[in-house]
A and B are shown apart, each in its own frame.
Chain A
Amino acid sequence: MSDRNFLTIEKLTLAYGGTVAVKDLDLTIAEGELVALLGPSGCGKTTTMRAIAGLIQPRQGRIVLAGRDITHVRANKREVGLVFQSYALFPHLSVFENVAFGLRLRSVARDELEQRANEAIGLVGLKGFERRLPRELSGGQQQRVALARSVVVRPRLLLLDEPLSNLDARLRLEMRSELQRLQRDLGVTMIYVTHDQSEALALADRVIVMRDGRIAQQGTPADIYERPSSVFVAQFVGFENIFKAGQWPLPDERDIAALAWRPQAVVLGQGPHQGRVLGASYLGDAVEYLIETPGGLVKAQTPASARRFALDETVSLDLPLASAARLAGQ
């Protein structure tokens, strides 16, 4: 029986000195859910995560985890795990001792300690590396140690702070699916902090987009990707053509602020509007054009196999209303 309100954050306000980083944040996360906190740097996502972990004290608000108000509980008593962006492994301890660290603090008996630590090391695929020191491991392996170290103490909630941002592209994909597998196997509730929209969309059950210390939009990855509610979110998930209602080429609709199209949604070679090709970049599988129109610049992408347009050529284009995202606010 999973708890819908496993983690509840109410009216959370966080500040560093005089700067307010997070303002009146409300957030509810269900047990077993994998939620991504997505946003540009400085949006308050990492600060929020640090407050949940207990590393900063909120100025206002409440944090309730599994029915227990942890707002004023010390970080070492919260039963929350945190995987740091820099991994933060203990440099003087071996892989095994890094993983066993939390178990030793809990005075777990020796047999159980060895069994649980080894199990966690096996879970992240590091069998045989137990005696190595962190500096003898690659970035990906260090990341796995950090994961094992966090899950071995069975936290109620696992926080991950940009865990993949220090890895190269291929490793990032590999670790992404490992994280998903881990979450499925352990059933642990996870909050995943990232500035990378594709990572958030690929991993999470639910995505929470943050901006200036507030929630800009939350929903399933499809909601966020296909139906952004504001100009900010639309830009963040790749809608590059955004036009205000009432301006070219839009109808004057009063309940929306703007319409947005991805470059792939713009139709070239036919349509009611005219534009001039200012630039063309070959992307391999597609060609991206920059087109000057009476209403401003439009970015369009067509398959590489489609008809090509030359620089300065005048083209017809269409911004179909059917493929537009309707944005209610800024």
Chain B
Amino acid sequence: MSYAIEVENLTVTLNSTVVLDSLSFKLPHPSFLAIMGPNGAGKTTLIRVLLGFLKPVKGKVRVFGIDPVEHPSGVRALAGYLPQKERISFEIPMCVKDVVLMGKLLKKSPPRVPTREDIEAARDALRAVGLEELWNRCFRELSGGQQQRVLLARLLVAEPKIAFLDEPFAGVDVQTQQALTALLHKLVRERKVTIVLVTHDVNPIQEHTDYILLLNRKAIAFGHPTEVITSENLSKMYGAPIKVIQYGQYCYAITGDVHA
């Protein structure tokens, strides 16, 4: 079996505080992984380590067999990324087409001139998220949901082998959330892309995921949603009693979005 991600005994510290502690898991390729945990659980830190932005103090990390610490460019050539909203300057006036094309042009060398194929691919990606008519619009004038969909189109056009999405559903309505999740699910099944998605609330997406990692500095649980989402695991992760209700084969946390 080929693995998209192999993490063994990973420990990361930030400003002398341990943010990830002896974390281990293996994610087969292609698959849809949701990482869930309270604030400060190390979810974003894990993504940053996988992309080679942060150096672990201990442990082994591999993305498609590549060490992101030694060869960050090797991992980044395969990766797509959608950062947390706070990391993007939404007030910068950019056309939607330029935002989407960014996904294609960043994979090229300067001067990164778009070819006809690049433009066509960007249009296709925007069509895939259902926003083709916004091609010439100003990005900052769109609604929050539309902006997230445009950013997802930017990720699609990069044709990644593995995509990291950090809280892509923050401030997004239920309808958009469902559309985006279905699209991500399709990416895994049809284009064989591994998706790593960080979320506070796994309820709306767990049916689409293959694996869930419950994280609170340590791995609380890792496995198929039906095995992982239990009252015991969630209570352990949040340090507070969490009840779940069962619907079909899945369990749903009835507290929804929990912030520790």
Decide if A and B are genuine partners.
no
